[in-house]
Homo-oligomer: A and B are copies of this chain.
């Protein structure tokens, strides 16, 4: 298996995921090669990430447009390990890999229905104040939500 920069021990890394959302590949998400187009995993990651943060107690539905500090994506990565096709039923796993002062490193793993890992990924989320445009440290309360896991 190819070396992925953000994964030390693949088996251990994979075993640490718990939360996932199920996603079925849509026809409109394929391309003329018949695969899931390479731009789509990031749509799945975003959906899983928001669901996960909601599950932890962050930004409950409907609040996002009112809050002063919003989560902004600072970077994103995806590694394509196996081809994915129309109609496949995937599980998109997500976990917090590291918590910084005002950011978190979130990791992703996507499994096919036969448990093959087809996609891995990661990305940093930064908490930004909407008015100042500057990063803001996590509150004590937010840290507790993250540490629960």
Contacts and interface: CB of A to CB of B under 8 A. Distances in A.
Interface of A: 2, 4-5, 24, 26-28, 30-35, 37-40, 42-43, 46-47, 50, 61-62, 64-65, 70, 72-80, 83, 85-87
A2 to B, nearest CB: 8
Given A75-B79, A80-B75, A87-B61, A46 B34 contact: no
Given A27-B46, A62-B85, 4 more contacts: A2-B74, A39-B46, A74-B80, A75-B80
Contacts of A30: 31-32
A31 B33 contact: no
Contacts of A65: 32, 34
Contacts of A46: 26-28, 37-39
Contacts of A75: 4, 77-80
Nearest to A47: B26
Contacts of A31: 27-28, 30-32
A77 B77 contact: yes
26 contacts: A2-B74, A4-B75, A26-B43, A26-B46, A27-B31, A27-B32, A27-B46, A27-B50, A28-B37, A28-B46, A30-B32, A31-B32, A32-B32, A32-B33, A33-B64, A37-B46, A38-B46, A38-B76, A39-B40, A62-B87, A64-B86, A72-B80, A73-B80, A74-B79, A76-B76, A76-B78
